[in-house]
Structure 1
Amino acid sequence: MSNIRKIGEKEIERFLELSSDAYPAFMIKSDDEREKIKKTFLEANKDPRYSIYGYFRDDKMLGQMRLFDFQMNFHGQKILAGGLGSVAVDLLHKKEKIAKEMVEFYYKYFYELGAPIAVLWPFRHDFYKQMGCGYGTNIYEYSVKPENLRNGKSKEHIRYLTKKDLPKLNDCYNRHVDKTHGMIEESILIRELRFERQKTSKYVGYVKDGKINGYMVISFTKGDADSFIHNNIIVEDLIYETPQALSEMLTYLHIQLDQINRVIFRTSNEYFFSQLSDPRNETMNMMPSVYHESARFGTGMMYRILNTQGIFKAMTKRNFNNQTIKIKFNVIDSFFPANEGSIILHFNQGNLSLENDGFYDVEIDIDVSELSSLVMGSVNFRAMYDFSLIKISDESFVDTINKLFAVEHKPICTTGF
């Protein structure tokens, strides 16, 4: 007989064992390291948003996962979003549908808690796609020579930040969350734990009138294994509230050109290249006809609607680009049947109202994974139509629906979990 429940402190050792087996790159190499990691997890668990669950069969823990009660900016409104992380299964018990049962538990848990959407970083996209998760925004990795960054007029507000600056830094981050679709609120506890883990990193801040309006976390790595003088900077985190804050931080990076070979940025901003004097990376690769390789990109965060009615209720204050149309969505959700069914949406000059029945202009059959990407704004309706990912009763409405769900900014998430 199997059951899923929160684990206690005495079961953290088993949690670490399963984690080490499932993620060999994070293998625990010593008893001291084990104790340090154990302490970090126990400290993180003091955050009321975090909890660790175990999958038990005959009192033996065969699987694990961490659940997160997040507050996420959803088109300008804060909503509860259920996070999932650290999913692991005992190597001897793979292919026994343990992970599937844990994901089912995760969906049901947050559905009953009232979260209309779930968020996760996938270890394999296809695994979660078949469970109804849709794609989020891509991230681009640029490898830039410092001299190709803009050298601004000043860096007078730039200074290094210390642990005592973390409350103001976290305030800066959460103000950014308030303005940015997809971002997740952060607690000071988790911020402090992350700072302790990043002992070799530098926190560089833009501070004006005692207020932090931007910051970046940077670390150094060797640019050449055989040389101690060729080094790169990795920008691990970059948050800014004003163009002036960004300009001064980029100027700080620019002036490292005598010591640094490349600066590595990972960003969801698809226009990042536009401010570089030369966006090419070090590969010198080209694509026909004359496209120079400037970045590589990855697909990461996935979103999953748990309650279609609930997610559209959370959007009733949003203006849908002044469009007027009545749509019936037939939502296909075979993995989580509680969410399967039809919904009728009336849009009048961009204002949304939900109807139980009645007249509609167009009917759309859509899988919950595609609907999740659509409402987040990470994939547009026209692309879904072009790739035959949806079925629509009247194709003449495609452009209107594409305008309806168009967003100024795709969702961004910088929270690792």
Structure 2
Amino acid sequence: MREIREIKIVEMDQYCEIAFHSYPSFKDFSDKGKKGFIHEMLFIRKHDPDIKFYGMFEGKKLIAQMRLLIFEMNFLNATIRVGGLGSLAVHLLYKKQGIAREMIDFCEKYFLDQKIPLVALLPFSPPFYYNKGYGYGTKMNRYIVQTSVLPRYAGENTCDFATKKDLSKLKKAHSEMMAQTHGMAEKMSYEWENNFSDPENLFIKSIDQQGETDGYAIFKFKSTHPDNYTKIQILVRELIYTNREVLSKLIGFFANQGDQAQTIEIKTYEEDFHYLFSNPLSCSENATDYGYFETNTQYIGNMYKILDLPLMLKHVEHRKYNNQNICFTLTLIESSRNQTYNIVIKDGDIGIEQTKKTFGLRIALTLSDFSSVFVGATTFRRLYDAGRLECSDMNKLMSLDAAFVVERGPVCWSDY
């Protein structure tokens, strides 16, 4: 008999075994490494009560596991609760039995029971989750450039190193960036703990005229050549800033390290980040046809799923759909069933009309793709051009996009 229930503390050793064999690239398999991992999980249980450990049991044997968490996330300038699915893994001897799908179904019911209609996850296999209704979020850009191309900061240097004693100041800066960044979530306690527990991590903070911390960066140095210890790269793990002045100061700090580190790696969601550099070309020196040179590489990460559209519309009642006026019939295509809604947007207020008739504008797309549109990661028109959307009236599709478009797609720096 199989059941899904919360994992007890005395069962964490079984949780550890599945986690280590499911994600072996990131694990230390020594006894010390396993004890350290269990200690980390126990820290999460104690300090992050919104994170729950669930597993599927066959009798007393744990055969699958996952972490379910609740984010406080900025959704278009208002904080909402969002569900999160993390560390889903199945025992090596129980693969290909549909267990992962059962765990996901449990996860979605878990959040719907708490009136949370939006779930986010970091996928181990993006196509698997896409087929389960999860849409792709904003792509992340990874830049590796010469340190010498970073702009120097012309003002007074007000950066300083930070330690764990500065945690409250760092949290405040993070919260201020979250408040102005769509998709960003408050950090969990374990995320801060993991950053401070890594002995290679360095924290640099920016200090404003009032002595407050208004931004910070977490970074480390790494060797880039096995036979030359002087070849060094700066790896920026996190870059938090509330305005361009703060960004300039932090980037200026890294520019000053050019005598020690020849290159720097920075990850960002900003599409135009390459304008920051005097020379945006990647250290890879790759080029392609028509004389184009590589500046950065892009990555798919966070995925989102709307579990219940009527509940989702209530969940984000503050959203005003750019004050548009449009009516349309929406059909969401899922593997098991299709759902159709007649949606009316009037002066930015949205509602579902309870009628069997259809409107003149009718669109049909997968729940996965609609979830991406709704959170602002893409647009209806882009999906139409990609052949992912059917539309009855192309003349009205641009008006529909005007209602749902956001200035910038969701940004998420949470590691869960």
Q: Hey, what does 2:405 align to over in structure 1?
A: 406
Q: Contact 2:191 / 2:415 at 8 angstroms: preserved in 1?
A: no
Q: Contact 2:131 / 2:335 at 8 angstroms: preserved in 1?
A: no
Q: Hey, what does 1:273 align to over in structure 2?
A: 274
Distance 1:201 1:154 in 2: 26
Instruction: Please tell me the residue identity of whatever aligns with 1:131.
Output: K
After superposition, the Cα gap between the structure-2 partners of 1:192 and 1:142, relative to the gap in structure 1 and judged at 3 Å, is closer
SS of structure 2 residue aligned to 1:316:
coil
Is 1:297 matched up with 2:298?
yes
Q: Contact 1:155 / 1:251 at 8 angstroms: preserved in 2?
A: no
Q: Hey, what does 2:97 align to over in structure 1?
A: 96
Q: Hey, what does 1:360 align to over in structure 2?
A: 359
Q: Contact 1:235 / 1:264 at 8 angstroms: preserved in 2?
A: yes
Q: Contact 2:360 / 2:392 at 8 angstroms: preserved in 1?
A: no
Q: What CA deviation, in whole Å up to 9, does each residue of 1:277-336 have, x standing for no partner?
A: 10111221111111111111111110011111122223432232332111121222345x
Distance 1:329 1:359 in 2: 9
Q: Contact 1:56 / 1:63 at 8 angstroms: preserved in 2?
A: yes
Instruction: Please tell me the residue identity of whatever aligns with 2:88.
Output: V
Deviation at 1:239, TM superposition (A): 0.6
Q: Hey, what does 2:190 align to over in structure 1?
A: 190
Deviates more, 1:116-125 or 1:150-159: 150-159
Q: Hey, what does 1:78 align to over in structure 2?
A: 79
Deviation at 1:192, TM superposition (A): 4.0
After superposition, the Cα gap between the structure-2 partners of 1:16 and 1:408, relative to the gap in structure 1 and judged at 3 Å, is same
Distance 2:128 2:92 in 1: 17
Q: Hey, what does 1:256 align to over in structure 2?
A: 257
Distance 1:192 1:109 in 2: 26
Distance 1:204 1:241 in 2: 15
Deviation at 1:151, TM superposition (A): 0.8
After superposition, the Cα gap between the structure-2 partners of 1:359 and 1:130, relative to the gap in structure 1 and judged at 3 Å, is closer
Instruction: Please tell me the residue identity of whatever aligns with 1:213.
Output: D
Distance 2:269 2:192 in 1: 25
Deviates more, 1:139-148 or 1:178-187: 178-187
SS of structure 1 residue aligned to 2:321:
coil
Deviation at 1:173, TM superposition (A): 0.7
Deviation at 1:366, TM superposition (A): 2.3
What runs of 5+ residues in structure 1 fail to find an aligned partner?
none
Distance 2:80 2:283 in 1: 42
Q: Contact 2:27 / 2:33 at 8 angstroms: preserved in 1?
A: no
Q: Contact 1:325 / 1:361 at 8 angstroms: preserved in 2?
A: no
Q: Hey, what does 2:147 align to over in structure 1?
A: 146
After superposition, the Cα gap between the structure-2 partners of 1:390 and 1:192, relative to the gap in structure 1 and judged at 3 Å, is closer
Instruction: Please tell me the residue identity of whatever aligns with 2:15.
Output: F
Deviation at 1:355, TM superposition (A): 2.6
After superposition, the Cα gap between the structure-2 partners of 1:60 and 1:12, relative to the gap in structure 1 and judged at 3 Å, is same
Q: Hey, what does 2:33 align to over in structure 1?
A: 33
Distance 1:294 1:372 in 2: 29
1:12-411 equivalent positions in 2, closer than 5 A = 12-46=12-46, 47-187=48-188, 189-208=189-208, 209-334=210-335, 341-357=339-355, 360-411=359-410
Q: Contact 2:232 / 2:261 at 8 angstroms: preserved in 1?
A: yes
Deviation at 1:226, TM superposition (A): 0.9
Deviates more, 1:357-366 or 1:260-269: 357-366
SS of structure 1 residue aligned to 2:370:
helix
SS of structure 2 residue aligned to 1:321:
helix
SS of structure 1 residue aligned to 2:219:
strand
Distance 2:128 2:298 in 1: 20
What runs of 5+ residues in structure 2 fail to find an aligned partner?
none
Distance 1:24 1:362 in 2: 50
Equivalent pairs: percent with the same residue? 31
Q: What CA deviation, in whole Å up to 9, does each residue of 1:111-150 have, x standing for no partner?
A: 1111111000001111101100100000111011111111
Deviation at 1:41, TM superposition (A): 0.8
Distance 1:381 1:329 in 2: 12
Deviation at 1:393, TM superposition (A): 2.2
Deviation at 1:191, TM superposition (A): 4.6
Distance 1:80 1:276 in 2: 37
Q: Contact 1:155 / 1:252 at 8 angstroms: preserved in 2?
A: no
After superposition, the Cα gap between the structure-2 partners of 1:363 and 1:145, relative to the gap in structure 1 and judged at 3 Å, is same
Instruction: Please tell me the residue identity of whatever aligns with 1:355.
Output: E
Q: Contact 1:382 / 1:399 at 8 angstroms: preserved in 2?
A: yes
Instruction: Please tell me the residue identity of whatever aligns with 2:346.
Output: N
Distance 1:376 1:5 in 2: 31
TM-score by length of 2: 0.96
Distance 1:233 1:356 in 2: 57
Tell me how large the CA RMSD over aligned residues is.
Answer: 1.6
Q: What CA deviation, in whole Å up to 9, does each residue of 1:183-235 have, x standing for no partner?
A: 11124x33541233322110000022231100000011112111111100000
Distance 2:407 2:65 in 1: 38
Distance 1:247 1:129 in 2: 38
Aligned length: 413
SS of structure 1 residue aligned to 2:323:
coil
Deviation at 1:179, TM superposition (A): 1.4
Distance 2:45 2:317 in 1: 35
